[in-house]
Amino acid sequence: MAEKKQAAVQCIDVRREFQDGSRVIKVLQGTNLTVYRGEFVAVVGASGSGKTTLLNLIGGLDTPTSGTILVDGDDITKLNDDQMSKVRRHKIGVLFQDQHLLPIFTALENVEVPMLLDDVPTEERRARAMKLLETVFVDHRAQHMPHELSGGMRSRVALARALANDPAVLLCDEPTGDLDHKTGGEIIQLMRDLAKNQNRAVIAATHDPETARMADRILLLRDGVLVDEMVGEFFRASKVDVSTKKTSKVVDEETST
Ligand SMILES: Nc1ncnc2c1ncn2[C@@H]1O[C@H](COP(=O)(O)OP(=O)(O)OP(=O)(O)O)[C@@H](O)[C@H]1O
Ligand SMILES: [Mg+2]
């Protein structure tokens, strides 16, 4: 019998408005979304469509104007600050483009930081951090400082750090933004493996068609709602340009000018 799918993230009629002087900017206007453990989902949409806003809300870094967000069963819109920071530490890992490693710590120490906040004993912390670096294939650089690592290696270390407390949900904002094509591809493959092999829900906001094409589902954010849901397999086969959702030639390294 097939295993029952476990919802790791549920957004129910989520709205987020920002006040800009006398003007109200309505970014999310009733977003509904369910992401299951084991799924790798890409959120695409034009710049300013609200991708980062949505990830920030799911990650508990921001609060919706209205609506409900469940993370691994907890309604995070009902938690106080203390409860929220616990959920953030234990259930959610984030890999944001501008989330830098701490420059004065080694790769290994950077991965240890979230566990430090959780009072994990030194030996265990170190061993777990090392194991995580192995998972993302950068353990040979454990003792290096961030500035001694390549961009791809730094992304891997940040990914290991995001996994430090074994989160149900991994949120990635433009995970391949700063990386070259090959390194970006490796990071996406890794993210996909983390969903499949470790049964996490991985959600990536992206402009990158390569990332979207690797996803199980592609969700398009337009005018504040998720207007479509497209199966990655279908996308890969049909070669639809995800940035416009029009059927057109896929632009990739080989064909673009
Ligand atoms: N704290 C804020 N205060 C006011 N407006 C905001 C705030 N955060 C986001 N916005 C607005 O919400 C809209 C959506 O922004 P968001 O960063 O979520 O877009 P995005 O889809 O991630 O774009 P990009 O692809 O460029 O990263 C934008 O118009 C932005 O200006
Ligand atoms: Mg963004």
Q: Name the closest-CA residue to atom 25, ligand 1.
A: 47
47 Cα to the center of ligand 2, angstroms:
7
Ligand 1 atom at shortest distance from the alpha carbon of 55: 18
Examine the pLDDT at 116 and tell me if it is beyond 60.
yes
Inter-residue contact 36 to 8 (CB < 8 Å): yes
Q: What is the C-alpha separation between 212 and 143, in angstroms, rounded?
A: 33
57 Cα to the center of ligand 1, angstroms:
12
Model pTM score: 0.87
Q: What is the C-alpha separation between 108 and 226, in angstroms, rounded?
A: 38
Inter-residue contact 36 to 201 (CB < 8 Å): yes
pLDDT attached to residue 4 = 75
Please list every protein residue whose CB sits less than 6 Å from any atom of ligand 1: 18, 20, 25, 27, 45, 47-53
Examine the pLDDT at 256 and tell me if it is beyond 50.
no
Q: Which of 41-45, 70-74, 222-226 has the lowest average pLDDT?
A: 222-226
9 Cα to the center of ligand 2, angstroms:
19
Examine the pLDDT at 109 and tell me if it is beyond 50.
yes
Q: What is the C-alpha separation between 168 and 199, in angstroms, rounded?
A: 8
pLDDT attached to residue 238 = 52
Examine the pLDDT at 236 and tell me if it is beyond 80.
no
pLDDT attached to residue 239 = 55
Ligand 1 atom at shortest distance from the alpha carbon of 205: 22
Inter-residue contact 60 to 76 (CB < 8 Å): yes
Q: Name the closest-CA residue to atom 4, ligand 1.
A: 18
Which ligand has the minimum distance to the alpha carbon of residue 51?
1
Helix (H, G, I), strand (E, B) or coil at 11: strand
pLDDT (mean) for 107-126: 92
42 Cα to the center of ligand 1, angstroms:
18
Examine the pLDDT at 240 and tell me if it is beyond 60.
no
pLDDT attached to residue 2 = 54
Examine the pLDDT at 176 and tell me if it is beyond 70.
yes
All structural domains of the chain, each given as residue ranges with its CATH number in brackets, are 7-247 (3.40.50.300)
pLDDT (mean) for 6-31: 94
Which ligand has the minimum distance to the alpha carbon of residue 46?
1
137 Cα to the center of ligand 2, angstroms:
27
Residue 228 has a CB neighbour count (10 Å cut-off) of 12
